[in-house]
Amino acid sequence: MKQVTKLMIKDFNIMKLGYDFMGYKVDRTKDLSFHHLIIPHRESKAYGIGEGYLYWNGAILNQDTSHEYLHLIERLDPEIFGGITSEMVDMNVKRHLDTENLRQIRSMLEYFEKEHCSDRSFKGKLLIKEKYLTERVRL
C-alpha cells in the first residue's frame, strides 16, 4: 500500500468511521485503495506527476465495492461519475468526510441504479452487483 494511501486513511479517520469517500463499509485496511480523482492514473505521467498518487488527487475507496462500482459508473454514465468525483474532491479539500457530500453521492448512486437496474453484461449478468446496493452505510 502506498504511503499516501496510508496517510489519507489515517487523516480521514476511515477505519474509525467505518466507511470510505463514497459511504461504503470498510472493515479492513487491506480492502482500501487510492482512487485518482482529478488526473487519472493513465494520464498522470503525461502531466508530469509520476503515477499520480498525490494527496490532492486522491480518494480512499473500498476496492471491491465503491472503487469497482465507480469505474462501472464512469463507463456507463460520465455525468454521474463527474458529479460523484466532484463531491469527493470537495471532501478532499475539506480534509474530512462530510455527511452532506456523502448524501449527495448516495442520491447520485440511487439515480444511477434506477436508470441502469436492468443493464447486463455480454454474459447476461446484471452490471449493478448486489454488494453495490447493500454495502453502503446509512448516514
Number of domains observed in the structure of the chain? 1
pLDDT of residue 9: 98
Whole-angstrom distance, CA of residue 39 vs CA of residue 30: 24
139 within a domain of the structure (yes/no): no
Residue 58: inside a domain, yes or no? yes
One pLDDT digit (tens) per residue for the chain, 139 residues: 899 999 999 999 999 999 999 999 999 999 999 999 999 999 999 989 999 999 999 999 999 999 999 999 999 999 999 999 999 999 999 999 999 999 999 999 999 999 999 999 999 999 999 999 999 999 8
User: How far is residue 31 CA from its own chain's centroid?
Assistant: 13
| 36 occurs within a structural domain | yes
Residue type at position 113: E
What is the model's pTM? Answer: 0.96
The answer as to whether 45 is a domain residue is yes
Q: What is the model's pLDDT at position 1?
A: 86
* Residue 21 structural domain: 3-134
48-82 in b/e form (b: 16+ CB < 10 A) is ebeebbbeebbbbbbeebbbebbebbeeebeebbe
What pLDDT is stored for residue 139 in this prediction?
A: 85
Residue 26 within any structural domain of the chain: yes
